[in-house]
A and B are shown apart, each in its own frame.
Chain A
Amino acid sequence: MKGNMTVKKLNRIILLVLGVIAVILPLLITNSYRLYFFSFVGIYVVAASGLDILFGYAGMISFGHIAYYAIGAYVTTLLTSYAGLPVMASILIAAAVAAAAGALVALPCSKLKFQFLALASIAFANFIYQLICNIEFLQPYRGMKVEPLSIFGVNLNSDYRYTYYFILVWVVIALLAKHMIVKSKIGRAFMACRDNTRSADGMGINVRKYKVMAFAISTFYVGFAGACAAHLNELVVCNTYVQANSFNYVIMCIFGGVNTIFGPVIGAVVFQFINEALASATAWRDIIFGGIVMLFIAFLPGGCMSALRGLEEKLAARFSLGKKEAASKGGKKDD
């Protein structure tokens, strides 16, 4: 029990440090491209967290989540450009549309076994991609202009510090929401369906309902991320949404560690850094990501989080041991 307490304390400290870094980052970095880059990291944190709800918690896979990212992006583009909706409202509606699409896909797919679900998700992503590429109106290849990220009519992109903070706030909301969901009866139902469908059913859990729900929540996150990204880039181009890009989210989850709040955060951050460092060497990038994924699956299936946990527990053990020793020495002196 005591060890547990120390782990919790350590967690708090790590969380605090990371939080402080995230908050003061724009003070340390003035280069506006870097801030744009970090805003993107935030967007990927949201997307990867969304995939984790499906993959890590509910035990379903999707290799097609880019489709919902695309739906979020194009829906918000159309809503702001043609219906004149405020950007924030439009982003939320776009995310809801992505979630509805996710639920619709999940309805027939929730009965599929893991590997067939993977295939179905790839097919769906290709379908959406081809759809986008073939609708002339969306100017798929030339790209379509998107309104800048703004709230209450203030253009945030005019200074990427604002953009960064806007995204940061939503990252925190997204992580808090995920935390609330996964520790509730809903999260437990997801994990029950993941571990054992048959006895989940026997325990009064409507397996189908919760699978669809996990899909909808997951795609809401990804749709939200896609919509934010569109307003951040101020442009949507079809080749952003090729099915293969879905693997990015999967890599982030595997790398950081699924079934955790902070795994996908770590995964997204590291992924984006590697991606950026190797931006000019795309072949190398793919080889490295491929290698990383294989190594992680083989040697560290729990991702960075499981390694961190192990480290933490060791540290915690050492701390509490040190304290005990100190205490006993103190006692001896008194004698």
Chain B
Amino acid sequence: MIKAENILVQFGGISAVNHVSIEVRKGRITGLIGPNGAGKTTFFNCISGVQNVTEGKIYYEGKDITNGRGFQLCEAGIARTYQNINLFHSLSVLDNALIGKHCRTHYGFFAALFGTPRMRREEEKAREDALEKLKIVGLDHKKDLKAGQLPYGEQRLLEIARALCTEPKVLLLDEPAAGMNATEKVVLNDLIKKIASMGITVLVIEHDMDVIMNISDYVYVMNDGFLLAEGKPEEVQRNPEVITAYLGGN
């Protein structure tokens, strides 16, 4: 689905991502773990068009999308959530979800101006779908609240709903469990599995070993910009280098 080859990202002299190759297979939940500053988010930014790579190539469904623009990649079917929550804070929960529907709602300026039947039909469709996606994450009853008023954990869920609204083929989740309590984490795990069962390929960054081992089919481990290990969760968990990196990191 997504194939990143030999990605190098340099900030000034430092290599945040150092010749990393990762393959995200269709229909799977792929995990990406690593200690703080390992370069996971930077790698995500490359795939989602936020960050240009210094070297390397990224392919999506066989097409070269290296250094593509964010909004185009979203339209192509790559959606993401952010580690530092990036919601539209002053807008309602529903509006946040509706903005996710932006590139799947088809009408132009004049249709909007005159409120044509097509515009109304498209808006109605977008609204229904947005509400359905909010329901999946369990926020439909809070649709009129401002996004900024939600507790932290729910803001993360809203980010996921908003990303789902873009009707992605691949969903990139950057530490979705950060700041969540134990019960919320359990709900989140089920949610991620549910998303995968909807036929959406998932790539998830996670600090929490237990979470990643629980949900992912395949795991990549990054450390200090390098790819340290990859494999099935139980293999990676036993890998002595990974254990050292984590113990050393902590």
Contacts and interface: CB of A to CB of B under 8 A. Distances in A.
Interface of A: 177, 180-181, 184-186, 188-189, 191-192, 195-196, 198-207, 213
Interface in B137-187: 162, 166
Interface stretch (B20-28, B30-38, B91-99): B91-99
A202 B165 CA distance: 12
Contacts, number: 96
Contacts of A207: 71
Given A203-B99, A204-B166, A177 B113 contact: yes
Contact of A198 (B50, B91, B95, B112): B50
A180 B80 CA distance: 30
Contacts of A202: 48, 50, 70-71, 74, 79-80, 82, 86
A203 B166 contact: yes
A interface, over-half SS? helix
B69 A201 contact: yes
A196 B69 contact: no
A196 B100 CA distance: 13
A184 B74 contact: no
B103 A204 contact: yes
Nearest to B148: A195
A186 B112 contact: yes
Contacts of B86: 196, 198-199, 202
* 6 nearest CB pairs, A to B: A204-B103, A184-B112, A204-B74, A201-B70, A199-B86, A195-B88
Contacts of A191: 88, 90-91, 95, 99
B75 interface: yes
B102 A189 contact: yes
B141 to A, nearest CB: 12
Given A180-B112, A201-B69, 15 more contacts: A181-B109, A181-B113, A185-B107, A185-B126, A189-B99, A192-B91, A195-B88, A195-B91, A198-B82, A202-B71, A202-B74, A203-B74, A203-B103, A204-B75, A205-B99
17 contacts: A177-B113, A180-B114, A188-B95, A188-B98, A188-B102, A189-B102, A191-B99, A196-B86, A196-B87, A199-B82, A199-B86, A202-B82, A203-B71, A203-B74, A203-B99, A203-B100, A204-B71
A200 B99 contact: yes
Given A184-B123, A201-B70, A196 B102 contact: no
Contacts of A198: 50, 70, 82, 86
B249 interface: no
B115 interface: yes
Interface string B72-85: 00110001101000
Contacts of A205: 71, 99, 102-103
Nearest to B85: A199
Interface in B43-57: 48-50
A196 B70 CA distance: 14
Nearest to B112: A184
A201 B49 CA distance: 9
A177 B79 CA distance: 32
Most buried by B among A181, A199, A203: A203
B105 interface: yes
A322 to B, nearest CB: 24
A84 B1 CA distance: 62
B83 to A, nearest CB: 12
Contacts of A188: 91, 95, 98-99, 102
A201 B113 CA distance: 24
A188 B105 CA distance: 12
Contacts of A196: 86-89
Nearest to A195: B88
Interface in B93-132: 95, 98-103, 105, 107, 109, 112-115, 119, 123, 126
Nearest to A189: B102
A140 B172 CA distance: 59
A202 B85 CA distance: 13
Given A189-B99, A192-B99, A181 B88 contact: no
A199 B86 CA distance: 6
B102 A185 contact: yes
Contacts of A203: 71, 74, 79, 99-100, 102-103, 162, 166
A65 to B, nearest CB: 21
Nearest to B74: A204
Contacts of B100: 203-204
Contact of A185 (B71, B74, B105): B105
